[in-house]
Structure 1
Amino acid sequence: MKVLDFTPPVPKEDSVVVDEDILPYFYNYFHRHRQLQITLIIRGEGTLMAGNYSQLFRPGDIYILGANQPHIFKSDPTYFANTDKLNAHAIHIYFDQDRIPADFFNLPELESITSFLTTTQHGFQLPREYTSYVGKIITKLPAKSNLERLLTLLKLFDYFSKEVRGWKSLDSGVSSSYFPDGEGLRMNEVFQYTLEHFAENITLNKIAEIAHITPHAFCKYFKKHTRKTYNAFLNEIRIGEACKKIINSNHDGISTIAYSTGFNSATNFNRVFRKTTGMSPRDYMREYKSKANLHTN
């Protein structure tokens, strides 16, 4: 597989395209397109990979993905086992800035929007305190006319640029906005294999074999393109899965989580969890329960 070039499924190319997906699982390929993308997750859980960054996604999340930024919303394995159910629901907005004359964005009234758009190259996640308001706007877009969609999106960009604070960057430090085709093919194989086999003992020899290069070359290659070791990347995926198990109460204890997510000991799991999240698994569990109780009271 490679990083696929994707075209939004519409009969003609408008500057703003709205696509609503209601499927058994999300589009299962690492892909990119020339349009900036805004995605609202309405139903479904899994792992978002954007460039070489990864994290869990869940209902209510809203993401901005930069033009030509490779990404995949990888549904959890359970979704692929229940393909008779429509468990994935999202609304995607595709914005093709190249279809709008450049002079339009030079208008003084659009200065803040233009400035904001230049920062979206590596993508953002909208902070949770803004998702309810923005989500309501996005859910109304499919029913709007083409002109109304464009005007609404410009208002959203204005809101993003002036009102939103604390954006979560999806940039893992790589300077380029996307991988060339040859690199995309190899990185996609590595990403996909890791997402599917993170709970197993993935040796350096095995992952190098997946990438079709020697172990020594793979270490240099992965560090060059992600600025982190493969082991650090693998641990991020494992800890993300562990956090999800804690949130969903899908476990029989900390040790069970450790072994089910690929760690060879509870001690090592605790060490990596603390390094990744800044707290111990038990503290994370207590904090999540505390926040959950606040929302229910």
Structure 2
Amino acid sequence: MKNVPHLPGTSSFLLRDMIVPYFSNPFHFHPELELTFIVQGSGIRFVGDNIEYFGSGDMVLVGANLPHRWKNDKVYYELDNDLYSRAIVIQFRENFLRSDAGELPEMADIRNMLTLAKRGLKIVGATRQKVAKRMIAMLHQNSIERIASLLLILSNIAASNEYAVLSGTSIDQSYTRSDTERISRVYAYIMENFTDEINLQDVAGVANMSLTAFCRYFKSVTNKTFSTFLLETRLNYACKLLLSDSFNITQVAFRAGFNNLSYFNRQFKKMKGISPLQYKKQFLQAQTY
């Protein structure tokens, strides 16, 4: 995982139109908020401890310093295919609205929405369609028009209820360079290995810390114990697997890193309020409408 450099000091936000064979960024985070609209592509999206499928039309607002990654399906990495991925991305600083205008009462809804974005927001419905049109139009606008469009986009999202919080974890701090590198190593290690047995001592070693110091450090960063973070990551991945017809409940449990089916069922129901089987059935029923 890497830390992406800050925006240029002369810019209040950055607009990019990325057209690539596949999304190549590893797990990364940065001090800017990021609004990503997937125009073309499919795969798995990681935001904090949330793991979901993504496809064309996917739209997510990621808060500052929240680790994230869009990883394409395997077919995108194969030779001799004519697939491509495209994303329109807007990055802007947290202080974008911290001016006289940003403190206006009329901006309160936007500020509140950006606070929620610390855990990542998935934008859906008519709001997503409206925002997507504005993002595409921004590619052909001058700098002043783009500022106005960004304010309208944030207003559109804040005024709607068509978004869902993605991650159970937010990161509210700024870090020194050494802290950034340590968090990056730990987060990347977890996300690459959570489906296998993870030894807490090994993770502490990745951070170059003693076991006790690491446990305190990890909770100070994520506001969760390591065991809770790992459990929720596995359960979120299990939710993704349950939406596929390829695996039964037992296979999902073991593929998500659980070696005890009863424990998996118990923890899943505690998190979601329903059993894994009920979760799968509800999704399949929704697909028939």
TM-score by length of 2: 0.81
CA apart distance, 1:116: 1.7
Give identity over the alignment, percent: 23
- 1:41 aligns with 38
TM-score normalised by L of structure 1:
0.79
Indicate if the aligned counterparts of 2:124 and 2:163 stay in contact, CA closer than 8 A.
Answer: no
Q: What's the offset of the Cα at 1:142?
A: 1.8
In 2, the alpha carbon distance for the partners of 1:238 and 1:101 equals: 37
Q: Report 1:19-168 matches (<5 A).
A: 19-23=16-20, 24-33=22-31, 35-42=32-39, 43-50=41-48, 53-56=49-52, 58-59=54-55, 60-66=57-63, 68-75=64-71, 78=74, 81-82=77-78, 86-96=83-93, 102-105=99-102, 111-113=105-107, 116-117=110-111, 120-121=114-115, 122=118, 124-129=120-125, 130-161=127-158, 163-165=159-161, 167-168=163-164
**Backbone CA RMSD of aligned residues:** 3.2
Structure-2 separation of matches of 1:188 and 1:200: 19
The answer (yes or no) to whether the contact 2:34–2:61 under 8 Å persists in 1 is yes
2:255 to 254, 260, 284: 260
The corresponding residue for 1:269 is: 264
Q: How big is the shift at 1:191?
A: 0.9
Native 8 Å contact 2:207 2:214 kept in 1: yes
1:182-232 Cα distance to aligned partner (Å, 9 max, x none): 322222111101111111111112212212222232222222222222122
Which of 221, 224, 231 aligns to 2:220? It is 224
| CA–CA separation in structure 1 for the residues paired with 2:111 and 2:226 | 31
Aligned length: 282
- Paired with 2:217 and 2:162, the residues of 1 have a C-alpha distance of 32
The equivalent residue for 1:3 is 3
Task: Return the offset for 1:257.
Answer: 1.2
1:116–1:157 Cα contact (<8 Å) kept: yes
Q: What is the CA deviation profile of residues 217-268 of structure 1, one whole-angstrom value per residue up to 9, with x for unaligned ones?
A: 22222222222221221122222222222223232x1111111121102212
Is the 8 Å Cα contact of residues 172 and 226 (structure 1) preserved in structure 2? Answer: no
Residues 125 and 167 in structure 1, CA contact (< 8 A), matched pair in contact too? yes
Deviation readout 1:84-110 (Å, 9 max, x if unpaired): 76554321112357688934446x6xx
Instruction: Provide structure 2 residue ranges, at least 5 long, that are not aligned to the other structure.
Output: none
Mean CA deviation greater in 22-31 or 235-244 = 22-31
**Matches of 1:214 and 1:177 in 2, distance apart?**
22
Task: Supply the distance in 2 between the matched residues of 1:128 and 1:36 (Cα, whole angstroms).
Answer: 18
1:127-177 CA-to-partner distances (Å, cap 9, x unmatched) read: 42332332232233223333322222222223233x212654467566734
What is the CA–CA distance in structure 1 between the aligned matches of 2:167 and 2:237, rounded to whole Å?
20
Partner secondary structure for residue 102 of structure 1:
coil
Instruction: Give unpaired runs (5+ residues) of structure 1.
Output: none
Q: Which has the higher mean CA deviation after the structures are superposed, 35-44 or 73-82?
A: 73-82
Task: Find the residue that maps to 2:139 and give its secondary structure.
Answer: helix
In structure 1, distance between residues paired with 2:201 and 2:166: 29
CA contact (8 A) 1:270 1:281 kept: yes
Write the distance in 2 (CA, Å) between the matches of 1:186 and 1:180.
10
Are 2:65 and 2:171, in contact at CA under 8 Å, matched by a contact in 1?
no
